[in-house]
Structure 1
Amino acid sequence: MQPGEAALAKVWAEVLNLPVAQLGRDANFFDLGGHSLRLVALQAALKQRLGLQVPLVELFAHTTIAALARHLGAREQPAASAALQTAGDDAARQREALMRRRRAAAAGALR
């Protein structure tokens, strides 16, 4: 997954109550157990977590993580791309920090 897709996947996983690892970039929201009420919850979560205002009609039209990320990147809303990139950058920094902590812990255990 691309960084923006990873940020979307995190929000989808929360709304669908699924582990992120279970979400493929081409998995359909509705095939994963989503329905119209969860789509409304997704819309609210995207606004709250990523600062993205996405009309419901756009969420119905772009029902995979990859399609939605592509659509948001192509929209004439630079904030959407920036928010997705920032969220992806944050996730990458968190992974790097976790790996540093694990390496440090492993090095301490070897002493």
Structure 2
Amino acid sequence: MSRRRGDDRGQATLELIAMLPVVLLLTGLLLQVGAIAWAITDTTEAARQGARASSMGQDGCSAAEAALSGSLTIVPSSCSAGGGTVALQVRAPILVPGFDDVRISRSAEMPDVTER
């Protein structure tokens, strides 16, 4: 069997192998951006829950930590609460190497109902 001039067999395989690292990198970056967006949403909701608890005279930081999903934790000594206001900071989950210590800060305020 002789090879003909201009034979393109295997060309698609080579192109796929060449593009695979780019596709994997873009997929990883999309997953990382999604994880950060999820962490922002979850942290915002935790801050609101903490502010609600703080406005009722309860410990806002504990309520915020309880409202966070299992993989998110508050950065030590970054939570402050009082008078219906909570500010906290969490570390986003890292899925792609190179994203080191992405921190998300959120705060929320609710009317203080204990003063009435």
**Both structures adopt the same fold (TM-score exceeding 0.5):** no
TM-score (norm. length: structure 1): 0.31
Whose helix proportion is higher, 1 or 2? 1
Larger RCO of the pair (alpha carbons < 8 Å, separation 6+): 1
Whose strand proportion is higher, 1 or 2? 2
User: Bigger radius of gyration, 1 or 2?
Assistant: 2
TM-score (norm. length: structure 2): 0.30
